Structure 1
Amino acid sequence: MKLIKHIAGIALAGCMAAGGAAHAAFPDRPVTIVVPYPAGGATDVIARLVAEKLPAVWKQPVVIRNQPGAGTTVAAEALSRAAGDGYTLYMTTAAHTISASLYKNLKYDPLKDFAPITLVSTIPLVLVTTPSLPAKTLPDLIGDIKKSKEGMTIASTGNGTPQHLTGELFKSKQGLELVHIPYRGDAPMITDLIGGQVQLAFVTLSAAVSNIQAGKLRPIALAHATRVKAIADVPTFAEAGMPGFEAATWFGLFGPASMPQELRQKIYQDVAKIVATPEMTERLVAMGGEVNNSSPEEFQAFIDKEARNWAEAVKISGASVD
């Protein structure tokens, strides 16, 4: 019996050593990073910044595959069924955790079918208005909304997006009557905000910063714990009199749930070295972002918290997709 246990122990140790060697050799062929949005958006830009530098580390090509559709769920479903060998990775956003409570008939579980690898960056949302509105502070804007006889509109980048749900939380917490106007993405929404066709919106800072700096949009408050360098003169919601109101989109790298912990750690460490370089940090900060570089364990804790927060926002908004 002792001999059998000894042999079994040797075999197990051999398997573990072989597995570790396999992970150490990763990758030995090209790696694909799936992005669930069209080319040119913030997620695509960040994924490509990482992908451009990884070949120098991995000695293998890293290819970006844009796979938009159905609020990121098309790409997510495909990724959930991929092999957990590290050769198919997934760069996504807060939409991933929102989908857990927004969609009623998903063919995958956004929380259980994915292995968080690293949270690269967080970009907060900023409340902006069309410059034609007189209000320049959060209290003044809230007062003007409550006094408005014609009513005001709040735009978003689409139903169920972080921008939409943050607007719903804002309305709920302040008891405001605002008409929601959904758009298909940042560009048409911002065009109408600048033109005055809609009055206010929560916008990802990376999408709004150039128009804020040019004076085409008026920033009211930043939904973040601290001010950011890109718009340093814009107060946080806490500073403006609404403490605890924070919302952001984020950019994180996942693999399928079957990915081994050792491989997750290797990919995280390799990506983290790239994200921590001055060049990458400067690019993210210029976009209005905060560099996170979170470990798989830290990212998992973040995901759990995000899922709870967005579930509350979905419930308040009444949003649902069958």
Structure 2
Amino acid sequence: MTQTTRRFLLAAPALLALPASARAQTAWNPGRPVRIILPYPPGGGTDILARAVAETLRPVIGQPVVVENRPGANGAIGSDALSKAEGDGTTIGMVTSTHTLNKYVMGTLPYDPLADFQPIAKMTIQTLVMVSGTAQPFSDLAGLLAAARARPNAIGFGQTEAVTRFAGTEFARLAGVQMEDVPYRGGGLMMNDIVAGHLPCGWTSTASAMPHLGTGKVRVLCVSTARRTPLLPDVPTAQEGGVAGYDISSWVGMFGPKSLPRPLAESIHAAVAHAYRDPGLVQRFQTLGLEADLRPPADFAQFLVNDDARWADALQHRRIQRMN
């Protein structure tokens, strides 16, 4: 058993801890198809994750589970739709850590990222990666940094939402280089330009990058966390490449609207925990380069409070800025 598989299997204890009678009493029986609102376009890492989870949830709850992409406004359009949905368990959503960060980088939001949603499950921790095409004149992080220092603002980095934008700007700040910020509407679109050689480099999730690594056209220059990820054990960290203090990760979580009762949120979490034990999903996570970090509603709610405080501190110390 690999380290990643072991972590995955240990990440879903909630349903196992319930006796059979409790599982029966808290079963999630929506009675009709369920939709997962995804505030991002098709083809990116979160979209891939959402579809893998939806496929595994169908036999668990006995209902179709459909992913509905509602991209736009850095994820705010889909999140707004979720906040206004009925709290009957038939509409849930999946978001990245941009969900909490948006409060600090966007001018106004039609909802409160914490108060207007019911946490259901923290689902993954996401190591971010800096990727580039193999046709670029640099082959490693040292080469990219040398090129960026030689030609300030000539090398652009792709990003798809607030967290990957922060990953890129923080990298440039700590590395002491000037790099152009190139926004994309989704990870799939950005990776297409990386593969084609139109974009020098970009920050994305392992799930977005993994499908391209076997093509011979994409390389991973570094990972964003302080320690190497078991998903890409041979890829150095940014810190190992000389960018001291660089340590950033993202996450994906499942929410309902605030009107979703907490007992129902716990039932949905139990169904997700059941799906997480499916061997097919375990293998899919490994293939996609996803790291499970399943946490129940109460734990996820506290995590969100801490995450909100992290971004508030970053704004106060000018490590992030409001978008134009």
Q: TM-score, normalised by structure 2?
A: 0.80
2:79 corresponds to 1:76: yes
2:103 corresponds to 1:94: no
Q: Report the alpha carbon displacement of residue 222 of structure 1 after superposing the two structures with TM.
A: 0.6
1:118–1:295 contact (8 Å) kept in structure 2: yes
Q: Report the alpha carbon displacement of residue 134 of structure 1 after superposing the two structures with TM.
A: 5.2
**Counterpart of 1:12?**
none
Distance in 2 (alpha carbons) for counterparts of 1:25 and 1:195: 45
Distance in 2 (alpha carbons) for counterparts of 1:220 and 1:139: 9
2:45 corresponds to 1:42: yes
1:166–1:313 contact (8 Å) kept in structure 2: no
**Counterpart of 2:165?**
164
2:94–2:255 contact (8 Å) kept in structure 1: yes
Query: Of 106, 109, 115, which aligns to 2:118?
Result: 115
Change in Cα spacing, 1:39 to 1:112, as seen in structure 2 (3 Å) is: same
Q: Report the alpha carbon displacement of residue 21 of structure 1 after superposing the two structures with TM.
A: 9.8
2:224–2:249 contact (8 Å) kept in structure 1: yes
- Letter aligned with residue 217 of structure 2: K
Distance in 2 (alpha carbons) for counterparts of 1:173 and 1:247: 12
> RMSD of the TM alignment (CA)?
2.9
For 1:126-145, what aligned pairs fall within 5 Å after superposition?
Answer: 126-133=129-136, 135-145=138-148
For 1:1-322, what aligned pairs fall within 5 Å after superposition?
Answer: 24=27, 26-133=29-136, 135-146=138-149, 148-149=150-151, 151-158=153-160, 160-242=161-243, 244-311=245-312, 315-320=318-323
Q: Report the alpha carbon displacement of residue 110 of structure 1 after superposing the two structures with TM.
A: 0.9
Indicate the SS of the match to 1:173: helix
Distance in 1 (alpha carbons) for counterparts of 2:109 and 2:205: 26
Please say which structure displays the higher CA radius of gyration. Answer: 1
- Letter aligned with residue 287 of structure 1: L
Identify unmatched segments of 5+ residues in structure 2: 1-22
Measured against aligned partners, the alpha-carbon deviations of 1:244-300 in whole angstroms (never above 9, x if no partner) come to 523334321101123222222111111012123221122112111101111222222
Q: Report the alpha carbon displacement of residue 126 of structure 1 after superposing the two structures with TM.
A: 0.8
1:29–1:60 contact (8 Å) kept in structure 2: yes
2:45–2:205 contact (8 Å) kept in structure 1: no
More relative contact order in 1 or in 2 (CA 8 Å, sep 6+)?
2
1:36–1:75 contact (8 Å) kept in structure 2: yes
Distance in 2 (alpha carbons) for counterparts of 1:151 and 1:31: 46
Measured against aligned partners, the alpha-carbon deviations of 1:54-74 in whole angstroms (never above 9, x if no partner) come to 232323333332222322212
Measured against aligned partners, the alpha-carbon deviations of 1:204-257 in whole angstroms (never above 9, x if no partner) come to 222222433433233221112443344321112344344552333432110112
Distance in 2 (alpha carbons) for counterparts of 1:268 and 1:274: 10
Distance in 2 (alpha carbons) for counterparts of 1:78 and 1:149: 43
1:67–1:74 contact (8 Å) kept in structure 2: yes
Q: Report the alpha carbon displacement of residue 83 of structure 1 after superposing the two structures with TM.
A: 2.9
Q: Report the alpha carbon displacement of residue 183 of structure 1 after superposing the two structures with TM.
A: 2.9
Distance in 1 (alpha carbons) for counterparts of 2:133 and 2:53: 35
Indicate the SS of the match to 1:164: helix
Measured against aligned partners, the alpha-carbon deviations of 1:132-161 in whole angstroms (never above 9, x if no partner) come to 555544445434422x04643222234x53
Q: Report the alpha carbon displacement of residue 41 of structure 1 after superposing the two structures with TM.
A: 3.3
Identify unmatched segments of 5+ residues in structure 1: 1-19
Distance in 1 (alpha carbons) for counterparts of 2:222 and 2:44: 23
Equivalent residue pairs, number: 300
- Letter aligned with residue 212 of structure 1: L
Distance in 2 (alpha carbons) for counterparts of 1:38 and 1:139: 33
1:154–1:167 contact (8 Å) kept in structure 2: no
Q: Report the alpha carbon displacement of residue 89 of structure 1 after superposing the two structures with TM.
A: 0.8
Change in Cα spacing, 1:188 to 1:56, as seen in structure 2 (3 Å) is: closer
**Counterpart of 2:3?**
none
Distance in 2 (alpha carbons) for counterparts of 1:155 and 1:310: 22
1:42–1:206 contact (8 Å) kept in structure 2: yes
1:120–1:275 contact (8 Å) kept in structure 2: no
